[in-house]
Amino acid sequence: MKTLMIVLNSVSNDNRVLKSAHSLESLKHKIEIYGMSGDKELKTKPILKRISNWPVRLFPNPGYFLSGVKSRVDRWKFMVDYFMTSMLVYAEQMSPEIVYTHDYNTILIGKKIVNSLRSQGKFVYWIHDLHEYVRGLTTTDDEIRQLALEHESECIHKPDCLITVSPMLSRKLTQEYRLSNPPKVLINAPKYSTFNPHYEPTVRQVVGLEKDVPLIVYVGGVARARGLHTVVDALPKLPGVHLVLVTNNQGDYIESLKSSAESYQCSDRLHIIPYVPPEMVSSFVRDATVAIHPMIHYPNAEIALPNKLFEYMHSGVPIVVSNCDSMGRFVRKWKVGEVFEAENIDHLANVIKCLIDNRDAYVRHIQEFSMLNQYFSWENQDSFFNIVNQDIQKKYQLFRQPDGSDIVQNSRENLDDLSNDLFDIFYDASLTNSLFYKYYYCCGQAQLNEGKSTEAEQSFYLASKFKYSSNLEDLT
């Protein structure tokens, strides 16, 4: 089936979009992606290029030719109208059976395209991926957020399948919109299979630091809401510690970070380098001392489980995060790092010093429980797309054979079976212990059969810790 994915960015660095496309392609879907170009000179037709071997149409960013319009909400309205109109022309030519929209700024675009195709008597299955808690985006323009909420309210009951990034966001949206079927959780974890322990250059090699120099790394978008000012402000309290920001962002906030570092006489310890391919982030940062995500408090941040959290986990590097609710709970539960009070410079400095001083102990624990990386991985969610694909196929059969009402009923039941089991363990320690006990016990049996007695002894030891513990706090 032809699948049209829509996201309003340049696609190449959006690993969630690329992983989703790959998963659908593995199920024999033919993928085409519509995105938004970052080229200021592109002002007419979209350009067609290939990313990860898929055809990608990058449409002009209307923001570049609306620079004279002072109202941000007016620019945002025009942007959505522009993409609805221009993408619809190409979508009608493509005639996809699946439309897969990403994030809050595409939901109205998706509705327009799906309704138009269906009005022509065509079969269309609509998937929408809710990346953000729009009501909680209080760091954005109030008028834009209100308009985005109106679009979400108008459209959220229309897709055949809703997806989101965390169980907390799924619950929030279900309650606020009284959804009969909660959005299905697809965590934005990396592929376990893409980690390369020999990947070069590493972050340390790129900035030219020796192995014994403490290096803090941050990967991703840089904005005030991400809290990087707190880390820069802590540098004077962390003598000899370097901070590396891996980002393609430019602008006033980046310049303010540079100015702060210069005023602290720390500019030689602040490094800003460009993105690496998104699938290689974990491999790239693996020789950092500490990985950090210092988000400030705001409603969306409290329920976020960002992709960088899982990318850092897969790298094996200890993590420092702010005490935003979901992220802080996750790090504390799995003991993969430490948590500091958001925007508290002194607390952050003390936490980083403590982690650097005791890094070997953190690394040993992370290695001991490396099974977490397999569990919190994209591959471990393969069944997600298989079940969605079954729903697509059954609804397509019904479209071709309208008298098969039992097909739809069975299809809906299969889709409802897509539970949030992956994250049930986030709340239930007994499930966690049972899962890991079985895993390490089976590993031990397999190692014994292969004559690896030392490894088997270690696996049985770990299994015993989970078997007799009723609380993760007991697992030291």
Model confidence over 136-173: pLDDT tens digits? Answer: 999 889 999 999 999 999 999 999 999 999 989 999 99
Question: 120 pLDDT exceeds 70?
Answer: yes
Q: What is the pLDDT of residues 34-83, one digit of tens each?
A: 999 989 888 788 999 999 889 999 999 988 877 777 788 888 999 999 99
In this prediction, residue 69 carries a pLDDT of 78
Distance CA 134, CA 296 (A): 16
Which strand (E) or helix (H) includes residue 31? strand 30-36
- Which tens digits make up the pLDDT trace of 317-330? 999 999 999 999 99
Q: Does residue 161 contact residue 195 with C-beta atoms inside 8 Å?
A: no
Q: What's the pLDDT score for residue 450?
A: 78
What pTM did the predictor assign? 0.84
Task: Evaluate if residue 217 carries a pLDDT over 80.
Answer: yes
Would you state the pLDDT for residue 424? 42
Residue with tokens 């004559």: 451
Distance of alpha carbon 310 from alpha carbon 134, whole angstroms = 22
Query: What pLDDT shows up at residue 436?
Result: 62
What is the rounded distance in angstroms from the CA atom of residue 316 to the CA atom of residue 336? 9
**pLDDT of 23 over the 70 cut:** yes
**3-class state of residue 221 by DSSP:** coil
Helices of type H across 69-123: 72-94, 107-119
Residue with tokens 């969610």: 381
Higher pLDDT, 414 or 460: 460
Q: What is the mean pLDDT of residues 16-32?
A: 96
> In sequence order, what are the residues at sequence separation of 6 or more whose Cβ sits closer than 8 angstroms to the Cβ of residue 101?
5, 6, 7, 107, 109, 110, 126, 127, 128, 129, 159
- DSSP code, position 8: S
Residue 457: predicted pLDDT: 83
| pLDDT interval class at 248 (50, 70, 90) | very high
Residue 117 has what pLDDT? 97
pLDDT confidence of 431, banded at 50, 70, 90? very low
Residues 174, 11: Cα–Cα separation, whole Å: 29
Distances, alpha carbon 132 to alpha carbons 50, 122, 300, 303, 364, in Å:
27, 30, 7, 9, 34
pLDDT of residue 283: 97
Neighbours of 259 (CB within 10 A): 12
What are the two backbone dihedrals, phi and then psi, of residue 116, each rounded to the nearest 5 degrees? -65, -45
Rounded (5°) CA angle 414-169-128 = 55
- Comparing 418 with 233, which gets the higher pLDDT? 233
Strand (E) or helix (H) holding 98: strand 98-102
Cα–Cα dist 296/227, whole Å:
5
Instruction: Output the average pLDDT for the chain.
Output: 88
Residue 351: count other Cβ atoms within 10 Å of its Cβ.
Answer: 21
Confidence of residue 406 (pLDDT cuts 50, 70, 90): very low
pLDDT category of residue 463 using cuts at 50, 70 and 90: confident
Q: Flag whether pLDDT at 419 surpasses 80.
A: no
Mean pLDDT on 382-399: 91
**pLDDT, tens digit, 9 for 90 and up, residues 72-106:** 888 899 999 999 999 999 999 999 999 999 999 99
Cα–Cα distance, 267 to 242 (Å, whole number): 10
- Report helix angle 453-467 to 429-449, nearest 10: 160
Sequence-distant (≥ 6) Cβ neighbours of residue 55 within 8 angstroms: 31, 32, 33, 48, 49
Measured CA to CA, the distance from residue 337 to residue 352 in angstroms comes to: 10
In angstroms, the CA 289 to CA 267 distance is 19
Q: What is the pLDDT of residue 420?
A: 45
Q: Are 141 and 185 in contact (CB under 8 A)?
A: no
User: What pLDDT does residue 366 have?
Assistant: 87
Q: SS3 sequence, 328-361? A: HHHHHHHCCEEEECCCCHHHHHHHHHHHHHCHHH
pLDDT category at 452 given cuts 50, 70, 90 is confident
The arithmetic mean of pLDDT across residues 235-245, rounded, is 98
- Dihedral (CA of 90, 92, 96, 100) sign: positive
Query: Residue 415: its pLDDT value, please?
Result: 55
The reported pLDDT for the residue numbered 414 is: 53
H or E element, residue 36: strand 30-36
Residue 427: the pLDDT is 40
Of residues 441 and 110, more confidence is placed in 110
Predicted pLDDT of residue 433: 59
